[in-house]
Structure 1
Amino acid sequence: MAAVTLKDVARRAGVSIKTVSNVVRDAPRVSEATRERVTRAVRELGYRPNPSARRLRTGHSGLIGLAVPELTMPYFAELAHHVRAEAAALGLTVLIEETLGDATEELRLATGIGASLLDGVILSPLRVAPDELASVASAFPLVLLGERGYGGDHVVADHVLIDNVAAARDATAHLAGLGRTRIAAVGVDHKGSETSRQRLQGFQLALHEQGLTYDPRLAPRVTEFDRRNGLLAMRALISLPADVRPDAVFCFSDMLALGAGRALYEAGLSIPEDVAVVGVDGSQEALYSTPSLTSVIPDKAAIASLAVKCLATRIRAKEPLPFEVHLAPYWLDARESTVGGRHRLSP
């Protein structure tokens, strides 16, 4: 059975081949009526784009990769949603992979291995060393997300991130500004991730600026930024002597904060009356939890837009471009878990 072509779809829909191509690439400036007619023809004929043919024709497949540590984490799931939307607006298709925080897998996916038709990759690395990515980025379009593990002007690839030190500092200062004096940090990673290091740095900086002392007993170590680790860490904090036990906790992710909230509930403690809680990520779960969770919110739509446009520019470039670091905005949304009261959700 012969493969269905753009010409076949165009004939069925009664439009030009160019129009079919625009609809398939999700390009703008196509009327909804025409888009619906072409989409129906694509579905009826079973048309499938051929990346190999596109690459032979244009030099590009129109496929890019997004590699994140874990898709079960709401932050990365929401980020993937925004990346797909941004890519579609540019006529690109996204293949999504999980690295599970494994350095070997991160490096493998950074090179596009396993999907040889990829034009480029957006990678959120946890473990692979920055210098290992330098040779990859010099030969293959690559954009990194998240914290940088190198300092100064040493940039090994295009990078999109928020200022994590400043974000952690703001979250901790918010708690101190509420009169909390025994502030714990949940998220110190025994594996030494850059995310954990930078958020701890911001936490300690805020304590110093507020005239508070950093107490290692209030910084239990975790293995992952998930609910279970938040639960276990908070249980350990609750078991401390009364004069050490925290009256506030800054969690390095919303999932850690939700786990910590469960431990406080089990212990019969109230949020925020007994312990105020702040998370990071701005997840939908944080907004709908009870009480609603105060969270540092990275602008995920802006992160996705910067990353996709940066990658597209590098894919199209005819000559090497200098690497750039792009800062995305963030903000702190103070909700019931720190300021009490009732947080009314918008309809």
Structure 2
Amino acid sequence: MASTLHDVAKLAGVSIKTVSNVINDYPHIRPATRARVEAAVAELGYTPNLTARSLRSGRTGAIALAVPDLGLSYFAELAASVIEAAEEAGVVVLVEQTGGDRDREIELLRSPRLKMTDGLIFSPLGMGQDDVARLEVPYPLVVLGERIFDGPADHVTMQNVEAARAATELLLESGRRRIAVIGAHEGEVIGSAGLRLRGYREALDAAGVPFDESIIGYTTLWHRSNGARCLHELLDRGVEFDAVFGLNDTLALGAMRALQESGRRVPEDVAVVGFDDLDEARYTIPSLTTVDPGRVWIARTAVRTLLQRIEAADAAGPPRLLLADFRIAERESTRPRSA
């Protein structure tokens, strides 16, 4: 039979209340008493009854994280950072994958499964600005990403325009003038692709370099195969370019593979920049220059903000927009031609 709170108390020689205080990390417990209780818990293999605790406290000790696609390295690494931050706070994370489908995202927001959690960190991809009212939900919510702004929930995101402008400026400062873009979305203004393309264009305008639609590669999903396909399409059209800005790292890595297959040297013939600073960007040959958009900060801030909302309940205050700092991680794929 499973051990009970009473069993732990008996073995440790303390009251049930003391055991409960130790398990709930009550601060005013003598170290020797805490050690006896923890030893008894370990010896008996006691596991707290989370259902009973939830009924008493009104909380589950769990939060939900919803992302579009764990097959995309960015979201996998984001999820790992969220889980790590939550574990440090003594909270577990239930992960949902929406596929970036608008209907599934809307369904998730009202899913009865969320009753098993105290709040949601939500990264929509299918929903857009017209869906902002759907974020009016009866539980704590933190929104990530660039699909919905000025909503009723806290929003933790990155500086897409500014970071993309800085990445493009790096290429311009190294003497590149024909900078192709891989991963643009037709007609998008709000969203990662639209915002990053805006930053790219702002950098060109400031440098007096004309924008050329012919070197913009459009796609839908941001996978390596799409990056390679877009790059091959540019080569097949015979357009000239001396740099590539992949709107995320996986696109940039696919483009870099296509360049190497075509006999172009990176960075001697074509410099390449990505966006996201995935772990694998450090280990490609050549290593990939990329934007670190503050992913770890975003994950930790989202967890901290959600837990603050859970604690504050109705007295939480107005929604906040929290922006991550970014940096350019300059590596071998953009070494200046004079180097």
- Given candidates 202, 205, 216, the residue that maps to 2:202 is 205
Aligned to 1:124: 123
Distance 1:42 1:68, change over 3 A: farther
Offset, 1:99: 1.1
SS in 2 for 1:264: helix
- Given candidates 161, 172, 181, the residue that maps to 2:168 is 172
Asked if 1 retains the 8 angstrom alpha-carbon contact of 2:100 and 2:125, the reply is yes
Aligned to 1:344: none
- Correspondence 1:156 to 2:170: no
SS in 1 for 2:139: coil
Q: Compute the RMSD of aligned alpha carbons.
A: 3.1
Offset, 1:239: 2.0
In the alignment, the residues of structure 1 paired with residue 320 and residue 201 of structure 2 have an alpha-carbon distance, to the nearest angstrom, of 29
Comparing 61-70 with 296-305, greater Cα deviation is found at: 296-305
Aligned to 2:139: 140
Asked if 2 retains the 8 angstrom alpha-carbon contact of 1:107 and 1:133, the reply is no
Offset, 1:6: 3.9
Distance 1:205 1:302, change over 3 A: same
Aligned to 1:295: 290
Comparing 268-277 with 45-54, greater Cα deviation is found at: 45-54
SS in 1 for 2:95: strand
Offset, 1:133: 4.5
SS in 2 for 1:239: helix
Letter of the aligned partner of 1:134 in structure 2?
Answer: A
SS in 1 for 2:237: coil
Aligned to 2:332: 336
Offset, 1:70: 1.2
SS in 2 for 1:187: strand
Q: Percent identity?
A: 46
CA displacement, residues 40-62 of structure 1 (integer Å, 9 cap, x when unaligned): 87677565444322221111111
- Given candidates 265, 273, 277, the residue that maps to 1:270 is 265
5+ residue gaps in structure 1?
342-347
Distance 1:180 1:108, change over 3 A: same
- Correspondence 1:322 to 2:311: no
SS in 1 for 2:314: coil
In the alignment, the residues of structure 2 paired with residue 245 and residue 22 of structure 1 have an alpha-carbon distance, to the nearest angstrom, of 69
Offset, 1:310: 1.1
Offset, 1:85: 1.9
Letter of the aligned partner of 1:196 in structure 2?
Answer: A
The alignment's TM-score, normalised by the length of structure 2, stands at 0.87
Aligned to 1:239: 236
Distance 1:54 1:240, change over 3 A: same
Aligned to 1:216: 213
In the alignment, the residues of structure 2 paired with residue 179 and residue 196 of structure 1 have an alpha-carbon distance, to the nearest angstrom, of 25
In the alignment, the residues of structure 1 paired with residue 26 and residue 181 of structure 2 have an alpha-carbon distance, to the nearest angstrom, of 46
5+ residue gaps in structure 2?
none
Offset, 1:115: 3.6
Letter of the aligned partner of 1:142 in structure 2?
Answer: L
Distance 1:282 1:41, change over 3 A: farther
- Correspondence 1:261 to 2:272: no
In the alignment, the residues of structure 2 paired with residue 177 and residue 290 of structure 1 have an alpha-carbon distance, to the nearest angstrom, of 23
Offset, 1:38: 7.7
SS in 2 for 1:184: strand
Offset, 1:173: 0.8
In the alignment, the residues of structure 1 paired with residue 123 and residue 277 of structure 2 have an alpha-carbon distance, to the nearest angstrom, of 18
Distance 1:34 1:226, change over 3 A: farther
In the alignment, the residues of structure 2 paired with residue 292 and residue 28 of structure 1 have an alpha-carbon distance, to the nearest angstrom, of 47
Aligned pairs, number = 335
In the alignment, the residues of structure 1 paired with residue 31 and residue 175 of structure 2 have an alpha-carbon distance, to the nearest angstrom, of 55
User: Larger C-alpha radius of gyration, 1 or 2?
Assistant: 2
SS in 2 for 1:291: coil
In the alignment, the residues of structure 2 paired with residue 5 and residue 12 of structure 1 have an alpha-carbon distance, to the nearest angstrom, of 11
